[in-house]
Structure 1
Amino acid sequence: MKIEYVDGLLQTSLTLKYKGQPLTIDKLVIDTGASHTLLSADAVADIGVYFETGDEIVTAFGIGGEESCFRKTFDSIQLGNFNIENYKLDVGSLHEKLAINGLLGLDLLMKANIVLDLAGLVMYSRKEKD
């Protein structure tokens, strides 16, 4: 899977489904310092992802301070050849100046057993190589 190097950040994309509707999200920053993947609420609004009563509220902490997010279960998430079903991701606001659609955090990177090849600007699931 291809990695883009944009403005000093590593970016990739993933495809997810929510209530049967597919969406590919580009401009996801690969963030090995983030414990959880965070998707921009704006990036997923078109497929009906929004806060609903009963959604778990979580707090994300980072350099910019803290931000409240909500957690949603997605039908499936595809990252390269890795696919996982019924997986929870955090959804919230990102700083408007960032021009990104989210952070790909350690939760999903480790679940997918991702290997980052920075020399080749590619990533792959270890399961793909074995």
Structure 2
Amino acid sequence: MRLFLKDDLPFTTVTAAYQGKATEISDILVDTGSATTVLSADALHAIRIVPLPEDTLHVIRGVGGSELVFSRRMDYLQVGTQKLSDFETEIGGMDYGFEINGILGMDFLSRAEAVINLRTMTIEFYDGDVTV
């Protein structure tokens, strides 16, 4: 799957599914420096993911500052043809001063056995034939 550069950073598109509904979300930063995957609450509104009274809020910190998030176990999160079922993601406001709908973190990248090729600007997934 092709990656695209925006402000010299690699971005992709994901499909997120929750309770039988799916939505495609663009402008997802591929970030090997992020431990977890974070998706924009606004982008997930289409599949009716909202904070619930029983949700625990967490503070996450990164280069862009800190943010309150809640977690939700998705039916699946998919990049290209690689789909991870029962995938837990953090959900927050994603107000970083530039257009971004999420961060694809190491939790997804390592579990999906991603191979990021910056020469060809692609993200592929180990299928038994790839030698890295």
Q: Same fold (TM over 0.5)?
A: yes
Gaps of 5+ in 2: none
Give the number of aligned pairs. 130
Aligned to 1:109: 109
Aligned to 1:99: 99
Aligned to 2:20: 20
Higher helix share: 1
Rounded Cα–Cα distance in structure 1 between residues aligned with 2:113 and 2:102: 20
Distance 1:81 1:20, change over 3 A: same
Rounded Cα–Cα distance in structure 2 between residues aligned with 1:60 and 1:129: 36
| 3-state SS of paired residue (1:36) | coil
- Deviations along 1:80-105, one digit per CA (max 9) or x if unpaired, are 22112111100001125211101111
Aligned to 1:29: 29
TM-score (norm 2): 0.92
TM-score (norm 1): 0.93
Gaps of 5+ in 1: none
Letter in 2 for 1:81: T
User: Structure 1 vs Structure 2: percent identity of aligned residues?
Assistant: 29
Aligned to 1:124: 124
Alignment of 1:39-54 (within 5 A): 39-54=39-54
Cα distance, 1:111 vs structure 2: 0.7
Cα distance, 1:19 vs structure 2: 1.1
Instruction: Give the conservation status (yes or no) of the 8 Å contact 1:81–1:128.
Output: no
Rounded Cα–Cα distance in structure 1 between residues aligned with 2:129 and 2:43: 31
Cα distance, 1:128 vs structure 2: 6.4
Aligned to 1:63: 63
Rounded Cα–Cα distance in structure 1 between residues aligned with 2:120 and 2:17: 29
Give the stretch that moved more between structures: 15-24 or 94-103.
94-103
